[in-house]
Chains A and B, each alone.
Chain A
Amino acid sequence: GAGVSQSPSNKVTEKGKDVELRCDPISGHTALYWYRQSLGQGLEFLIYFQGNSAPDKSGLPSDRFSAERTGGSVSTLTIQRTQQEDSAVYLCASSLDYGALGGTQYFGPGTRLLVL
């Protein structure tokens, strides 16, 4: 596609439910990143994929958060047993290659998650 796409654009869920957020990166981009932006905060790094592997999961806030990437393309971020503090905008980005100078990160429009 022309850019990074994410779905759904908005998600309202009840506390305790599981949610899945999807990211379609730019075609050909090998690196994929997940961030979240809580109210009044900057973008917080969650996890990074190079191909289908995630060398760095250090940003995931708890073991309720997991992510996978298949076929070197689509990625899914799953939040189990959601809590109200999980409410945020979840942003996905992709870049052509790995590393700081491996390419600018291009962001999707985000998924706005609200946990009631």
Chain B
Amino acid sequence: DQQVKQNSPSLSVQEGRISILNCDYTNSMFDYFLWYKKYPAEGPTFLISISSIKDKNEDGRFTVFLNKSAKHLSLHIVPSQPGDSAVYFCAAIPSGTYKYIFGTGTRLKVLA
């Protein structure tokens, strides 16, 4: 049972445009969410996070939005750059635990 879902396995975006990566979850007891970026042959690197008490968190070109009623998380990258091309994983942490539950990832390709 996949509790965290990334339904788009891939996404292509033109350089300079907005990239929107989506993540849906089923467990209402998740209270912290994160996005990680992964380049080939490297481990995932932390990008941005959001607590369930917030609906938006921004860090430079990266903004994460949380819609708790829809159980939906999204990552916006503006403007997209070729170096952003990577696989993006969303992760959720159930309340009172330390476990990261990851989605299956979305491969973003930013076209120059």
Contacts and interface: CB of A to CB of B under 8 A. Distances in A.
Looking at chain A's contact residues, the main secondary structure is: loop
A113 interface: no
Interface string B24-57: 0000000110101000011111100100000000
A91 interface: yes
Nearest to B90: A42
B104 interface: yes
Contacts, number: 58
A92 to B, nearest CB: 8
Interface in A48-105: 48, 56, 91, 93, 98-102, 104-105
Interface of A: 4, 9, 31, 33, 35, 40-45, 48, 56, 91, 93, 98-102, 104-110
A91 B49 contact: no
Interface string B92-112: 010001111111110000000
6 contacts: A42-B105, A48-B99, A56-B99, A100-B97, A104-B34, A105-B46
Q: Which 4 A-B pairs have the closest CB atoms?
A: A107-B43, A42-B102, A43-B102, A100-B93
